[in-house]
Amino acid sequence: MRAAHPLERRVGIEHYYSDADGTGGRLRTTPADFRVRELEAMEPEPLDTDTGDYPHLLVRATLRGWDTNDFARRLSNALGISRERISWAGTKDKYAITTQLFSIRGVEPERLPEIDDVDVEVLGRIGRQLHFGDLAGNAFEIRVREAAVAPVEAITAELHARVGGDGAPEINSDRTSEASPGSAPETTSGVDEQTEVGVAVPNYFGHQRFGSRRPVTHEVGLCVARGEWREAVLTYVGNPFEAEPEGTQAARAFVDEQAERADPDWQEALDRMPGALRFERSMLHRLREDGDETPADWRHALEAVPRNLQRLFVNAAQSYAFNRMLSERLSRGLPLARPVDGDIVCFADRDAPEGLYRPDTDRTQVATDRRVDVMARHCERGRAFVTAPLVGTETELTDGEPGDVERAVLDDLGLSPDDFDRPGEFHSTGTRRAVLLRTRVEYDVDADENAYDLAFSLPSGSYATVLLREYLKTSPVDL
């Protein structure tokens, strides 16, 4: 099995699913090269519905060159309302054309302003504001330029063969096919250069989950889970990376030096830390004020960051452990597309939009004895998914070899489910996540331009980069 890029291995991603050479290439040469559209998870009420019960407008905004937060700020200013009255389901890259869902409380459609490089479509009314993750998934249209396009077909064929878990293709159709995810398999001898085909990849958490240029978020979270508050703060504030500017590296190195002293000068460390690193500065400010450097002081310093970042630390640690379990499963030759004895399998979301393979991790079943074959058939048809844990206090580790994998990774990390019983935002009950990501890819090779196009849809919580990495096989920084 082909080894992952060295930077990916830092976040637990050890393997590629395809052995074919990568195409290399460039993404986002222009914003139009990367288009993403959020897929609604709720059906709005008509606009003439009572605003007392449904006070929020649901709108679909297509943004060209806008950061999500910047657009929300611009919209609230134009409407003359608090930014808190605008919510959205997900954040997207500024260097793209993004179509996103927003809710706006207490505003009539005719008040919506015209904003440069934005098109707004009013969908209806909803009874509550959108929360992060309130979407079924995302649809992507991506162009890869300056690429060696010859491997595209071989990569697609390999990922197509992985759908069945044992090398047998399950889905293959041309652009006009109306086949659904649950339809009968159509085996063919290959795939064309311009076609739509079912593919599968490991459902890794992408590199950006941990920080693209400075992947330390999970390391902080691991320290939190172990109760190592001092190490958590120093991992975030100190710990320089070569990818950072020299001034930032020097400031972080000074923090590390002070941490080794009996009388650290946190004021000088604060003075040296660049102003743009406001979270690091907030932690240093608390260290300077508290002074005693007890475990409680270090935790207080870590709590200087926003609550969502506190949660992200723990979530990233869970994601790293998941990536490690997924990689270990591949290293042992355990399948991802079908269960083995002891696997916990979840069923597909029956309310997902057509064509979207979306797991429902609230509906699970343990595959044992004769149920292994039964669940394998469900998995082959896209009706169920093998899972691994995002470990938390309510996680029950499974049996058999899958359980051996889970315990081996946790033992290596010095963790147990009970370790996630931490105060405040650092607490997590855990959940489970599908180990395989399934989708249908429409691809089009433009050999004259040394470019190719990919179009696909993914459920919320899955990363486009885990599919793109199979094609480009390049540094995660370039994805």
3-class DSSP state for residue 11? Answer: coil
Q: Is residue 412 flagged as an active site residue?
A: no
Gap between the Cα atoms of 49 and 107, Å rounded: 14
Gap between the Cα atoms of 292 and 274, Å rounded: 25
Could you count the other beta carbons within 10 Å of the beta carbon of residue 93? 15
Torsion of CA 201, 196, 464, 138, to 10 degrees: -120
Gap between the Cα atoms of 2 and 9, Å rounded: 12
Could you tell me if 202 and 437 are in contact, meaning their C-beta atoms sit under 8 angstroms apart? yes
426 CB-side CA count, 13 A: 24
- The active-site residue, picked from 93, 192, 399, 404, is 93
Got the DSSP string for 257-319?
HHHTSSS--HHHHHHHS-TT-HHHHHHHHHHHHH-S--HHHHHHHHTTS-HHHHHHHHHHHHH
Sequence-separated (6 or more) residues with CB below 8 Å from residue 149: 23, 445, 446, 447, 450, 451, 452
Gap between the Cα atoms of 53 and 410, Å rounded: 47
Sequence-separated (6 or more) residues with CB below 8 Å from residue 294: none
Pairing of strands 97-105, 34-40: parallel
What H or E segment, with its residue span, contains residue 386?
Answer: strand 384-390
What does the radius of gyration of the chain's CA atoms come to, in whole angstroms? 24
With both helix axes pointing from N to C terminus, report the angle between 295-302 and 278-290 in degrees, rounded to the nearest 10: 150
Catalytic residues: 93
